[in-house]
Structure formats: C-alpha cells, structure tokens
Amino acid sequence: MDKNGAFTLAAGKKTDWFVWPGEGDYRPDSSPRALFKTDENFSFSTRVDVSAHAIYDAGCIALVGTASRWAKFCLEAQADGGLAIVSVVTRDLSDDTTSYPVTGTSTWLKVAKDQGGIFFYASSDGRAWTIVRKFSLDAPAGLSAGFSVQSPEGAGARAVFSDVHYTAGKIDLWKLR
C-alpha cells in the first residue's frame, strides 16, 4: 500500500473465477482476492485502474457469501481492446453481464447492501453514480467483500485500487451518492 492508501493486486497467467452456465465443467477459482467481513448493511466503493493485456483481464470488487454464492463487479478488457463495466452473479452457475464501455483505464465501482438487496453502481468520477445491477445473494453466515484481479486468457494483469470507502449501517440503495 502506498502513502495515499492505494494498493496493487496482480493476477498470474490463466487466473479466473467463473462457473460456466452452459454444458461443460469450466469452474476456475484461481483469481487473487483480498477480502474482509462486511456488516449486515453497508456501502463499499473504490477506484480501479486496470493494466489489461488480454481479453477478460480485469480488476474487480468481490462479494462472497459461500463458495457457490458470490458476485464480482469488474472493469474488464473486451475483444475490441477497450474496457467495460462487467458484473457476474453466481448462484451455483455464473450469470455474466457486460453493461457499457469505459473511456480510459480506470473507473469507480461501488456495491451497497441493505435489507437483503444488493446494488452495483459505477461512476466515471467517484461522485455521480449509475445503478448497474440489482440482485440478492443468499448468504446465511454473512458476506465478505473486497478486491480481485484476473487474467483468464492472458499472461497476467494488474489492478490498482485507490480511493477506498466503506460505510456500515442502513443504506438508501436508491440514493446515488
């Protein structure tokens, strides 16, 4: 961690965290993650800057309930060479959604949970937020949240996480600030 609180996570070659929803048995769980236990209701955000070299290289916010119930919210490399906001919600099988492209190599990502509802938000400036996805994630023992990086098709990727904020307690999921 540097003096401003930023830190880097690096992923090695062929690192991924995904459960293929179609036929086959693609279930890698090799992406590096740094997690912490959350409160029942919370908001957690960070700026992520991705050094991507191959398709699907990404820096992500991770949310874990169990080994088969988790989600990740990523700034991920696309086939056209650009980066996009991508979310994955896994309830035994992964549900993957690409939302929209991002200009440059960084963006802000946020997850908030209140009364069982979970929202993913993204922002180009860390102030004005857009709701990207709404879902629930059954986790009887509570959730852990944190950071992840991946390079499923490449030789490795890095993500720098900075401007990290965590707030515990009741959250108004509809209030975009």
Predicted local confidence at residue 24, as pLDDT: 80
Containing domain of residue 94, as a range? 7-168
CATH, residue 66:
2.60.120.200
Query: How many independent structural domains does the chain possess?
Result: 1
Per-residue pLDDT reduced to its tens digit, 11-64: 999 999 999 999 888 999 999 999 999 999 999 999 999 999 999 999 999 999
* Residue 83 in domain: yes
Q: State the first-to-last Cα distance of the chain, in angstroms, to the nearest integer.
A: 26
What is this structure's pTM? Answer: 0.95
Quote the CA–CA distance of 48 and 58 in Å, as a whole number. Answer: 9
* Residue 175 in domain: no
* Residue 174 in domain: no
* Residue 176 in domain: no
| Residues 74/58, Cβ–Cβ less than 8 Å | yes
Quote the CA–CA distance of 60 and 86 in Å, as a whole number. Answer: 9
Instruction: Please work out, in degrees rounded to the nearest 5, the angle formed at the alpha carbon of residue 17 by the alpha carbons of 85 and 81.
Output: 40
* Residue 2 in domain: no
Question: What amino acid is encoded at 165 in this protein?
Answer: H
* Residue 40 in domain: yes
